[in-house]
Chain A
Amino acid sequence: MTHWLITLRAILHREALRFTGQRGRFIAALVRPLVWLIVFAAGFRAALGLSITPPYQTYITYETYIVPGLLGMICLFNGMQSSLSLVYDREMGSMRLLLTAPLPRWWLLLCKLLAGTLVSVLQCLVFLAIAVAWGVRFPVMGVLSVLPALVLTGLMLGAVGLMLSSLIRQLENFAGVMNFVIFPMFFMSSALYPLWKMREASPTLATLCGLNPFTHSVELIRFSLYLQPNPSAMGWVLLATLAFGAAAMRGYDPARGMQGKTLKGG
């Protein structure tokens, strides 16, 4: 095995061990989407009438509608959290260690993104199992066909987080990013309501939602879960992943990035 693959395997293994070792983090990550699925959806289903739109071929419950959005939510929170934790010194130490490995920096950052994505995908699979137990139905093969969509979504959102972590010099707390990145991304998407509903309320907002890469991630997940292709969403997400990934790599370029926030003392 080459040095590159040895390093990738070690980074993935480390993240998986940390994930399984931190039960609190695992449970907390699942509670959030489950509250939406079980509580929010129950209260909201009466308020929202859903017409039959692809990929659904029949009327569906609201719970069924929001499952892809909640899968996206898991990737969104996890991607932001794992990357933004780099801003704190605790994690910055391990990032410094990673970046001193004698490999190209882009590869090390890609390994880091893949490790965060692995955790997101594991959380999504557990969430899907609970959703099935809750009565949500989708094709059995959907569990497999949704995997590439989840990986791509995880990479894209991890890249957004990585880019932010290279830009933000001081992060007082996670709340700032919640307010300015996570909430707008989540609520201005098709995660909780279809865009045609949004368009009825405000065409401008619907247009903005259409430009939000997270909307396309959710749609890619939705279509993949029901074994249907969605080339436009796939194209958007791929493009956004490349763009955010390039920005993150630029942010961590040793000739430019990581300045200011890492320097303390002498």
Chain B
Amino acid sequence: MTGIEISCLGYSYGAKRALDDLNLQVAPGQFCALLGPNGAGKSTLFSLLTRLFVAPEGRILLAGLDLARQPRAAMARLGVVFQQPTLDLDLTVRRNLLYFAALHGIAGRAAEARVTAALDRLGMAERAGEPVRALNGGHRRRMEIARALIHDPAVLLLDEPTVGLDAAARVAITDHVHDLAAQGLTVLWATHLTDEIRDTDRVAVLHRGRLLADSTAADLRGAQSLQTAFLRLTGDEP
């Protein structure tokens, strides 16, 4: 296992327990949907995985590297798409990508080559010189995903990446990330939208800081819809 390995992870905000004894493994090439209602602990988990906070309890391995002991090496293997937009709207598409490459120590011709390749994959080469403000929401999100891959990470984290997008853009982005997983990337996709999950996907259901279920979507839902199974599990069914 060299994707994501989370063991005995716990985190509290004062007296409030946000994550409790969480154990989760995601293998390379696997698309794991982290499903949970608001307040389940998804954002806390993402903050710990991206080292915005340090976990006082438990251990996180990213691509086999301990986030607490080798933070820089582990973070270098990680690509992140945040829930909040993180693009600089006034800078051009190319400049945004070059900035990110530089944060990972990639500059000069190497950076130009990677940015050009990313733009080609997105089919946005001709828009490289436009300010990001000119792109629609779907394009911006795709660009953020492409940006997260510029340094060839082994693990990709996405925190509710389809929020605010229209149906077509949501489908396109969901398909795109499934393709990335099929190519060998470890993907952890946080969401509360069950229609983004395929039957073959791994689903980890997080509720009140604890892992309620961890199986394929098909096994989890059985004969019912995933939405119904999810609501039944989290006790929120109507």
Q: Which residues of A contact B160 (CB under 8 A)?
A: 265-266
| Chain A residue with Cβ nearest B131 | A21
Q: Closest CB-CB distance, A109 to chain B, in whole Å?
A: 13
Binds A, one of B24-32, B42-50, B222-230: B42-50
Q: Which residues of A contact B76 (CB under 8 A)?
A: 102
Q: Which residues of B contact A89 (CB under 8 A)?
A: 84
In Å, the complex CA distance between A92 and B186 comes to 26
| Chain A residue with Cβ nearest B73 | A102
Q: Closest CB-CB distance, B135 to chain A, in whole Å?
A: 16
B53 x A255 contact (CB < 8 A): yes
**A18-B90, A255-B54, A265-B43 given as contacts; is B103 within 8 A of A93 (CB)?**
no
In Å, the complex CA distance between A262 and B47 comes to 9
Q: Closest CB-CB distance, B177 to chain A, in whole Å?
A: 18
Whether A254 is near chain B, meaning CB under 8 Å from some CB there, is yes
**A10-B98, A262-B52, A263-B43 given as contacts; is B82 within 8 A of A96 (CB)?**
yes
A17 x B103 contact (CB < 8 A): no
Type the 1/0 row for B103-123, where 1 means its CB is closer than 8 Å to any CB of A: 111110000000000000000
A100 x B75 contact (CB < 8 A): yes
Is the interface on chain B under 10, 10 to 19, 20 to 34, or 35 or more residues?
35 or more
- Tell me how many residue pairs across A and B have CB atoms closer than 8 Å: 114
Q: Closest CB-CB distance, A198 to chain B, in whole Å?
A: 42
Q: Which residues of A contact B95 (CB under 8 A)?
A: 14, 17
B86 x A96 contact (CB < 8 A): yes
B41 x A266 contact (CB < 8 A): yes
A102 x B43 contact (CB < 8 A): no
Whether A53 is near chain B, meaning CB under 8 Å from some CB there, is no
Q: Which secondary structure characterizes the binding site on chain B?
A: loop
Q: Closest CB-CB distance, A83 to chain B, in whole Å?
A: 17
| Chain A residue with Cβ nearest B102 | A10
- Complex partner residue of A98 from B36, B47, B83, B103, CB under 8 angstroms: B103
**A89-B84, A265-B160 given as contacts; is B91 within 8 A of A260 (CB)?**
no
- Complex partner residue of B39 from A2, A104, A255, A266, CB under 8 angstroms: A266
Whether B51 is near chain A, meaning CB under 8 Å from some CB there, is yes
B53 x A259 contact (CB < 8 A): yes
In Å, the complex CA distance between A254 and B52 comes to 5
Type the 1/0 row for A93-113, where 1 means its CB is closer than 8 Å to any CB of B: 110111111111000000000
Whether B192 is near chain A, meaning CB under 8 Å from some CB there, is yes
Q: Which residues of B contact A264 (CB under 8 A)?
A: 43, 83
Type the 1/0 row for B151-169, where 1 means its CB is closer than 8 Å to any CB of A: 0000000001000000000
In Å, the complex CA distance between A92 and B42 comes to 18
Q: Which residues of A contact B86 (CB under 8 A)?
A: 93-94, 96-97
15 pairs from A and B in contact (CB 8 Å cutoff): A7-B102, A10-B103, A14-B99, A94-B86, A99-B52, A100-B51, A100-B75, A100-B78, A101-B104, A102-B71, A102-B104, A102-B105, A260-B13, A264-B43, A266-B36
4 further contact pairs, Cβ within 8 A, besides A14-B99, A97-B82: A10-B103, A100-B51, A104-B72, A264-B43
